[in-house]
Structure 1
């Protein structure tokens, strides 16, 4: 018999196993500086968070924390700031080609990891697990406020 606390811990551990494997693969594929938080940021920028303020709201972190992460990713070459065509005083954050490549490769690696899990668990069992999780969780897969929620 399992204790009630085991379910969230197992789900979190499964997330961690997948994310750690993702970052090992990304490092081998040309993205050694990527960290888990960076993936949330790149996804948010790709979905329109174009400033420290909007990124902070999306991630559930302070504007200052978002700004620091933008600076880090800019230094690594994943994002850049460009003049806003609607307001010359403002700069917007956009993905660079390297940032787009990191997201593309992440999607590829997640597909490969899912294939590995299907081989280990059986495709039907993995499909059943995903169906059960869809039933028990909200529909928005890209709810990116997890970093702030943990903080």
Structure 2
């Protein structure tokens, strides 16, 4: 029988292996500076953009920490700050074409990585694994605040 501590370690190792492979491929495809925490932030920006305060709430970090992340992503060319059309006192953070590109490439790479798991384990088994995880993960289990939870 497996020890209880093994399950979270195996789940994390699986996550880590996928993320490491994603970032290696992204680097080869012209995105060498993007980091795992950046992916959470770019997802939190979303299609419609967000203020720094909204980003902080979505990521589970302070507005100041979100602002630092935005500064870094802006320097790397993934986001831009623009005037909020609904409130001239606020700035919106929006994805640039480079930001959209890295998210699009990430989706394609994740599909390819999942296909490798299917090749190794079989489609039925991977489908069952995903189903089983959905059954035990809370409904709001896929949250963008993981970077903040890890203390980043």
Shared fold, TM over 0.5: yes
Structure 1 stretches of 4+ moved >6 Å? none
Look up the match of 1:89. Answer: 89
Q: Deviations over 1:29-88 (max 9, x none)?
A: 111111000000000001656122111111111111110000000000000001111222
TM, length-normalised to structure 2: 0.94
SS at match of 1:144: coil
What residue ranges of structure 1 are gaps of 5+ in the alignment? Answer: none
Does 2:36 correspond to 1:25? no
CA RMSD of aligned residues (A): 1.4
Rounded to whole Å, the distance in 1 between the matches of 2:47 and 2:9 is: 29
Does 2:44 correspond to 1:44? yes
Look up the match of 1:150. Answer: 150
What residue ranges of structure 2 are gaps of 5+ in the alignment? Answer: none
With 36-45 and 82-91 compared, the bigger mean Cα shift is at 82-91
With 45-54 and 75-84 compared, the bigger mean Cα shift is at 45-54
Rounded to whole Å, the distance in 2 between the matches of 1:83 and 1:68 is: 18
Rounded to whole Å, the distance in 2 between the matches of 1:47 and 1:54 is: 14
CA contact (8 A) 1:49 1:55 kept: no
TM, length-normalised to structure 1: 0.94
Report the Cα offset of residue 141 of structure 1: 5.9
CA contact (8 A) 1:81 1:92 kept: yes
